[in-house]
């Protein structure tokens, strides 16, 4: 029987060199401190990432012992905005793979007395490099108070960064923000000597554009700005790190059709698949429900100047082509089994896009040109709506849930998880969130939140009894 020997490495990279408030010897500690020996018997590492935002998180529990270089405890050495590098593997055969580069946000110290024993621990928590997009913010009150926003108001933040004031493809627009806002920030801080190259890998859906008239008055973090114009759920935007780069991945959502197995949206590419045997699954919980059924769809384009005439054109479409909106029956339409209105009622699904074929109708001088622009916007919204239908019409048959498996660092959000039994795939899920929890010399488990499972359809196609197949032994034999 093959045994697993998970290995881990945690390093602290000093970025904050505090002098006031602490002894000078603390500020002069080495640039890098190996925290691995401080994990001890009761230490642990937790790392979490999700497709729902750019920011992942980590938590490392350490034994609070003396740091030889400073003569004081870990709690006195680690500062918010220091950095950590976390590596681990379930069964390494080469260099430990990078799991997360993180920025320290908080340091907690706990002292416990049990009988005649005293134990002290330090918990270091923080976020991955996606946190930088949350640190950078547009705040008009601050801009006005400092005088830099008057009198141009909303135009100032983007013109000051030399971001072109023209319609751009969303991938190009995100690259401009990374190149002219995010990267210069990194280069102006201690992060620059440790950060790997930040780049945008863009392959979004369709030919939409982002207009300066749409985002010019935006206020908030750059994470919120990028997530808003990523046009989810048609696209995905998330962070993934390699040894040499920090990649902002902007791509078409790689959802597969429940029955054909083909990618639903044009331009979607294979995101990669990780196979896990049922013998390595500690628990698998999935569910289906009528609450996920949708059979009435609408796509808005809020915040764009095209919305005024797009609304009028969309309303006329309701009377001219209702079949493009209703998929579950009614008005003489053919019922769609997984969204029948006689079974599930009328269930609306509303979505919004912040892109379009054109977002600035003032570029069109004549009424005829304006009508053409309105038709372009309508066609764009109509295509988005049809794609929304294709992604959600089978929701009642798609499974979602969670699984706890033997630790596997290759499991990542944005990949598919294939559950196998004797080499045969019994379920396939899309991974939305991953949390790794490693306790050295004790356990390594990975919890995944999963969606779009096709187990129901696969079970129906099996020739042997699915129930008897499910009764086999699991992770504990």
What pLDDT, in 10s, does the model give residues 215-266? Answer: 877 888 899 999 999 999 999 999 999 888 889 999 999 999 999 999 999 9
333-336 contact pairs (CB < 8 A, 24+): 336/295, 336/393
| Arithmetic mean of pLDDT over the chain | 81
* Rounded alpha-carbon distances, angstroms, from residue 315 to 272, 321, 375: 41, 10, 13
Average pLDDT of the residues in 278-294: 94
The pLDDT value given to residue 474: 52
Nearest partner of 10 among 122, 135, 112, judged by Cα: 122
Give the integer Cα–Cα distance in Å for 333 and 24: 77
Q: How much of the chain exceeds pLDDT 70, in percent?
A: 77
Which element (helix H / strand E) includes 11? Answer: strand 7-13
Per DSSP, 22 falls in state S
pLDDT band at residue 183, thresholds of 50, 70 and 90?
confident
Asked which of 6-20, 149-163, 232-246, 352-366 is least confident by mean pLDDT, the reply is 149-163
The bridge status of strand 137-138 relative to strand 220-221 is antiparallel
Whether the pLDDT of residue 281 is over 80: the answer is yes
In 166-280 the beta strands, taken as DSSP E runs, fall at 197-203, 220-221, 235-241, 245-252, 273-277
Asked which of 281-290, 349-358, 370-379 is least confident by mean pLDDT, the reply is 370-379
372 burial class (0-12, 13-18, 19+ CB within 10 angstroms)?
Answer: middle
Average pLDDT of the residues in 287-311: 75
Whether the pLDDT of residue 425 is over 80: the answer is yes
The single residue listed with the structure tokens 């995100």 is: 174
pLDDT band at residue 138, thresholds of 50, 70 and 90?
confident
Question: When comparing pLDDT for 390 and 208, which is higher?
Answer: 390
Give the integer Cα–Cα distance in Å for 384 and 282: 39
* Rounded alpha-carbon distances, angstroms, from residue 197 to 81, 187, 241, 267, 349: 19, 11, 10, 26, 39
Question: When comparing pLDDT for 259 and 432, which is higher?
Answer: 432
Question: What is the phi-psi region of residue 258: left when phi exceeds 0, alpha when psi lies from -120 to 50, beta otherwise?
Answer: alpha
CB burial string 41-66: b at 16+ within 10 A, e below: eebbbbbbbbbebbbbbbbbbbbbee
Whether the pLDDT of residue 477 is over 50: the answer is no
- Tell me the per-residue pLDDT of 43-88, one tens digit each, with 9 for 90 and over: 999 999 999 999 999 999 999 887 876 677 888 889 998 999 999 9
Give the integer Cα–Cα distance in Å for 302 and 381: 12
Residues 6+ apart with CB under 8 A from 266: 205, 206, 252
Write out 173-190 in H/E/C secondary structure.
HHHHHHHHHHHHHHHCCH
Asked which of 6-20, 94-108, 452-466 is least confident by mean pLDDT, the reply is 452-466
First-to-final CA distance of the chain: 12
Asked which of 7-16, 355-364, 381-390 is least confident by mean pLDDT, the reply is 355-364
C-alpha atoms less than 13 angstroms from C-alpha of 201 in its C-beta half-sphere: 14
**Tokens standing for 115?**
């009988």
Whether the pLDDT of residue 97 is over 90: the answer is yes
Nearest partner of 179 among 169, 187, 189, judged by Cα: 187
**Tokens standing for 74?**
């870990």
Whether the pLDDT of residue 307 is over 50: the answer is no
The pLDDT value given to residue 326: 54
Average pLDDT of the residues in 464-474: 58
Whether the pLDDT of residue 25 is over 90: the answer is no
Whether the pLDDT of residue 320 is over 50: the answer is no
Question: What is the phi-psi region of residue 89: left when phi exceeds 0, alpha when psi lies from -120 to 50, beta otherwise?
Answer: beta
Average pLDDT of the residues in 349-362: 74
Give the integer Cα–Cα distance in Å for 378 and 97: 47
The single residue listed with the structure tokens 């621990």 is: 121
- Name the most confidently modeled range: 378-387, 454-463, 468-477: 378-387
Tell me if 123 sits within 8 A of 107, measured CB to CB: yes
Q: How much of the chain exceeds pLDDT 90, in percent?
A: 42
CB burial string 263-300: b at 16+ within 10 A, e below: bbbeebeebeebebbbebbeebebebeeebbbbbbebb
Whether the pLDDT of residue 435 is over 90: the answer is yes
**Tokens standing for 176?**
């401009």
pLDDT band at residue 370, thresholds of 50, 70 and 90?
low
Whether the pLDDT of residue 18 is over 70: the answer is no
Residues 6+ apart with CB under 8 A from 100: 47, 49, 56, 58, 84, 85, 86, 128, 241
The SS3 of residue 145 is helix
pLDDT band at residue 476, thresholds of 50, 70 and 90?
very low
């Amino acid at each position: 029987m093959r045994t697993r020997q998970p290995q881990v490495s945690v390093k602290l990279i000093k970025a904050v060199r505090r002098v006031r408030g602490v002894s000078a010897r603390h500020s002069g500690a080495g640039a890098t401190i190996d925290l691995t020996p401080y994990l001890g018997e009761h230490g642990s590492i937790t790392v979490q990432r999700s497709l729902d935002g750019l920011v992942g998180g980590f938590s490392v529990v350490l034994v609070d012992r003396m740091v030889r270089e400073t003569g004081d405890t870990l709690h006195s050495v680690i500062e918010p905005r220091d950095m950590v590098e976390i590596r681990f593997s379930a069964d390494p055969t080469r260099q430990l793979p990078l799991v997360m580069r993180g920025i320290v946000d908080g340091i907690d110290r706990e002292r416990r007395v049990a009988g005649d024993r005293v134990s002290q621990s330090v918990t270091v928590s923080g976020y991955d490099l996606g946190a930088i997009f949350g640190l950078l913010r547009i705040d008009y009150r601050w801009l006005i108070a400092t005088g830099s926003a008057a009198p141009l108001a909303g135009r100032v933040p983007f013109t000051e960064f030399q971001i072109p004031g023209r319609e751009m493809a969303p991938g190009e627009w995100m690259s401009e923000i990374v190149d002219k806002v995010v990267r210069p920030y990194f280069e102006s801080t201690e992060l620059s000597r440790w950060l790997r190259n930040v780049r945008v890998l863009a392959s979004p859906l369709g030919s939409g554009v982002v207009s300066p008239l749409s985002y010019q008055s935006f206020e908030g973090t750059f994470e919120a700005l990028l997530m808003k114009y990523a046009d989810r759920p048609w696209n995905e935007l998330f962070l993934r790190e390699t040894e040499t780069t920090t990649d902002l991945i902007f791509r078409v959502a790689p959802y597969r059709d429940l029955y054909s197995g083909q990618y639903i949206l044009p331009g979607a590419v294979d995101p990669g698949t990780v196979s896990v045997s049922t013998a390595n699954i500690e628990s698998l919980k999935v569910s289906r429900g009528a609450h996920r059924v949708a059979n009435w769809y609408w796509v808005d384009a809020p915040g764009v100047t095209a919305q005024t005439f797009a609304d009028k054109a969309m309303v006329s479409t309701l009377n001219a082509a209702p079949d493009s909106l209703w998929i579950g029956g009614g008005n003489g339409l053919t019922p769609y089994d997984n969204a029948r209105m006689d079974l599930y009622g009328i269930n609306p699904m509303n979505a919004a896009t912040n892109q379009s074929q054109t977002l600035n109708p003032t570029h069109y001088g004549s009424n005829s040109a304006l009508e053409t622009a309105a038709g372009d916007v309508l066609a764009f919204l109509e295509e988005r709506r049809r794609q929304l239908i294709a992604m959600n019409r089978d929701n009642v048959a798609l499974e979602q849930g969670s699984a706890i498996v033997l630790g596997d660092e290759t499991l990542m959000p944005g990949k598919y998880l294939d559950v196998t039994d004797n080499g045969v795939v019994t379920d396939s899920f899309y991974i939305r969130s991953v949390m790794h929890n490693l306790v050295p010399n004790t356990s390594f488990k990975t919890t995944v939140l999963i969606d779009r499972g096709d187990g129901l359809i696969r079970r129906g196609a099996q020739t042997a009894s699915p129930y008897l197949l499910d009764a086999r032994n699991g992770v504990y034999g």
